[in-house]
Amino acid sequence: MGLLAYLKTQFILQLLLGFVFVVSGLIINFIQLLTCVLWPFNKQLYRRINTRLSYSLWSQLVMLLEWWSGTECTLYTDQVTVDKFGKEHVIIILNHNYEIDFLCGWTMCERYGVLGVKSDDSLDTFTSIRKFLENVGLVQQEFE
């Protein structure tokens, strides 16, 4: 077992990662609250800033799945379908067998630049982000 693998098993490091996620979520929510002053003047700028702030929190979970757990997500499809990713409106339904399956979906969306989520109301950080993005359902990321 290498040093990195050993460190990943240590409770204190896992606790630290959880703490970093919660604190960064609170900081992001506070910054989003500050951006509310932009809403009456420039809605497009408000939305652009909040989309990027939301992405910065969601990408932490994708990092944990790929780097920390070493999970590999593989998409089996033809090239014609891959060429349409990010260019058409779609809804992808995952068959959730395990608790972290939604992260695999986020990972695939991250790879193709279309990270979005219908967040769970029990997760306060995500609920706040969704409200700042003016969205009750799906959140669509559009980087310009």
How would you write the pLDDT of the chain (144 residues) with one tens digit per residue?
788 888 888 899 989 999 999 999 999 999 999 999 999 999 899 988 998 898 888 888 888 888 888 788 788 888 998 888 878 776 667 776 777 777 787 788 778 777 654 444 444 556 666 666 665 554 444 444
Q: Would 36 be classed as within a structural domain? A: yes
Q: Give the chain's radius of gyration (CA, Å).
A: 17
Residue 60 is encoded by which pair of tokens?
């932490």
Q: Would 35 be classed as within a structural domain? A: yes
Q: Would 21 be classed as within a structural domain? A: yes
Q: Would 114 be classed as within a structural domain? A: yes
How high is the pLDDT of residue 142?
A: 46
Q: How many domains does the chain have?
A: 1
Q: H-helix or E-strand containing 30?
A: helix 11-34
Map residue 35 onto helix, strand or coil.
Answer: helix
Q: What's the start-to-end Cα distance of the chain, in Å?
A: 43
How high is the pLDDT of residue 128?
A: 66
Range of the domain at 38: 3-132
Q: Would 138 be classed as within a structural domain? A: no
Q: Would 144 be classed as within a structural domain? A: no
Q: Do residues 50 and 35 lie in contact, with contact meaning Cβ atoms separated by under 8 Å?
A: yes
